[in-house]
Structure 1
Amino acid sequence: MMNQSHAETALSRAMIRWSLTKSTPVAETPRSWLFRVEQNGRNFAALKIIKPEASKEEGRGVRLLQWYEGDGAATVFDTHGDTIFMEWLDGGTLGEPVRAGKDDEGTIAIATVVASLHKPRPDAPEGLEPLRDRFQTLFDTDVRAWPHTARDLYARSAGIALKLFDKPSAIVPLHGDLHHDNIMSSDRGWLAIDPKGLLGDPAYETANIFINPERGDKIASDPKRIAARADILSQRLGYNRKRILGWAAAHAALSACWDIEEGKPIIGQLACLPNLLSAYDLA
């Protein structure tokens, strides 16, 4: 009940603060509530109210979204406390065309979004999470938590991650959770939403793509698709192809560790990992 009243209080304050005339609840996630709002019956906008327990991580993401200033990402109009007043995007996610078989087009769109997000900008936001810290769960996981037949996949992926961290790279602000269903269609093109707010190797930005989209395991685990995705991303962004594939394997293993921690199955990651590691070896 307390949480619900937190949302109601924040919503009524936001309606007054930004002169909003109408609000419609759209979604509740473990981290936030989302409303579609109107200003004087003219324009739709989004109101995201962050739950108190998610305030720290979500706050990093919001600061990063503000820093992007709408270039490759949803525009933040204003914030107050844990309430974000932002652009409304309702054109569907990039996951839809990719699940319908347009994977190359989807990967090209992602490369365009990444190029926009990684443009040099002054005054990077404070307090972003170092990528090395993000990976701590991978290094802390007991190999015995993995299925017996997949322990070599874990060991190899963790080894690749350590190797990548040992090899210096550029350090840039990262969205940190960039996958097809976090990229939405708009009249301004494809735009990223929900960044995590990390700091690290720019080539990591593409890692999440290789185990996505949701309900797209068949595409993500196909060796031909893995190779084509790596080719497109490397060519269009200028990032080293082997590094892209290394981060993809390392991230798939990290994602599996998170799911193991939460007692969730890791079928999707296990379908992708052997082929990601093979592609990495061949690169």
Structure 2
Amino acid sequence: MKDSGQLTIPLSFQKTIINLYGEKGQLWLENLPSLFTHLSQSHNLRNLTLVDNLSYNLVLTGLQDKTPIALKIGLDKSALQQEATALKAFAGNGAIALRAHENGLLILEQAIPGTSLKSFFPQRDQDALKIACIIMQKLHQAKIPDEKFPHIKDWLHGLKEYTLDSNNRDLSFHHHRASVLANRLLSTMAQPVLLHGDLHHGNILHHQGNWLAIDPKGVVGEPAYEVAAFIRNPILQLYIHPDFEKLIKVRIFLFSHLLQLTAQRIQEWCYVQSVLGWIGALNDRENTTPYQQFANLCVQFEMTSP
């Protein structure tokens, strides 16, 4: 798809939006071509091309005047506003640059060549982890701005809201254990910083000789919470890897060593987040197996150096 007026939306993306938003999503999809044309003209955008693997937002790359950009359009306007606020806070601290934003729209610097750390898995797993550590250290230097950001305790409400199912004894066991553990972790939390909130392999891109974070959620919490998303990803490829257990152990101890964090605390946050992800996947009728396997593995771990 090139230039304005020729927007072809993948059927898989359409299904995702309709499943999430129903009639509201259908109406948004119908209005996308005209919205796209308007945005292209009002922001001087051209040569726009859809990226692969769309999730919940429409993302295109192209040019604004002569500058390479990425255009992100979505129905969840509050989430896009939160991302814009986080990118402003992270400016100069390891994140992609935000060029402009308005209601339901972000215009971002385009990462070139844009290769993600997914390309490092599994052959260069430790190299990817070291790059992630550098990015985290930069991001966590950012000052927490005056704007309201959620706290990780807000994100953990999913544990409290889960209704126990007597037919799912495995999840009930983990839910109780994770709830108790989450309360202890929150009560003993280190000095909070502004976290990316979803810093996995796919959200770290190569850009002109550097690595930069994209798609920040923006949440306040301790650094040990941040590493868990990276440790459990790329989740679909990781949990079927023959050295799954060893990879997880090595990642935990390397993050502990490189970031000067307690290995046990990292492992505990990994566990809590895996149970929360399990509940989320169950509610969304998605594959729960990776989260279940990860939770079971965390319980089995004895934190000894691999």
- TM-score grouping bracket, smaller chain normalisation: 0.7 to 0.9
Report the number of matched residues: 278
Q: Structure 2 vs 1, CA of residues 45 and 245 (structure 1 numbering), >3 Å: closer, same or farther?
A: same
1:46 aligns with 2:67: no
Q: Structure 1's 17 and 145: CA in aligned 2 closer, same or farther, altered over 3 A?
A: farther
Match of 1:116 among 124, 138, 142: 138
| TM-fit CA distance, 1:219 | 4.4
Supply the distance in 2 between the matched residues of 1:91 and 1:269 (Cα, whole angstroms): 28
* 2:118 corresponds to which of 95, 99, 105: 95
**SS in structure 2 opposite 1:144?**
coil
Say if 2:201 is the partner of 1:176: no
The 1:218/1:138 distance shift into structure 2, 3 A limit, reads same
Q: Aligned equivalents of 2:139 and 2:31: distance in 1?
A: 33
Counting only pairs closer than 5 Å after superposition, residues 48-197 of structure 1 correspond to structure 2 as: 48-51=72-75, 54-89=76-111, 90-99=113-122, 101-121=123-143, 124=145, 126-144=147-165, 147-197=168-218
How far did 1:23 drift? 2.0
Q: Is the 8 A contact 1:72 1:116 kept in 2?
A: yes
8 Å CA contact 2:81–2:103 kept in 1: the answer is: no
Question: What RMSD, in angstroms, separates the aligned Cα atoms of the two structures?
Answer: 2.5
Offset, 1:6: 4.3
Distance 1:143 1:220 in 2: 33
How far apart are the structure 2 equivalents of 1:179 and 1:125?
26
Give the TM-score normalised by structure 2: 0.82
Q: Percent identity?
A: 21
- Pick closer, same or farther for the CA change 1:165–1:85 going to 2, 3 Å: same
- Distance in 2, matches of 1:96 and 1:192, equals 15
Matched residue SS, 1:128: coil
CA distance in 2 between partners of 1:253 and 1:233 (Å): 21
Cα deviation for residue 220 of structure 1 reads 9.7
1:230–1:245 Cα contact (<8 Å) kept: yes
Contact 1:63-1:125 at 8 Å conserved across structures: no
CA–CA distance in structure 1, aligned partners of residues 80 and 101 of structure 2: 12
Superposition deviation, residue 38 in structure 1: 1.4
Following superposition, the deviation at residue 237 of structure 1 comes to 1.5
| Partner Cα separation in structure 1 for residue 59 and residue 294 of structure 2 | 32
- Structure 1 residue ranges without an equivalent (≥5): none
SS of the equivalent of 1:45 reads strand
Q: Secondary structure at the match of 2:231?
A: helix
**Residue 222 of structure 1: how far off its partner (Å):** 2.5
1:30: how far off? Answer: 5.3
Task: Quote the Cα distance in structure 2 between the aligned partners of 1:205 and 1:143.
Answer: 28
- What is the CA–CA distance in structure 2 between the aligned matches of 1:146 and 1:182, rounded to whole Å? 36
In structure 2, what residue type is equivalent to 1:31? Y
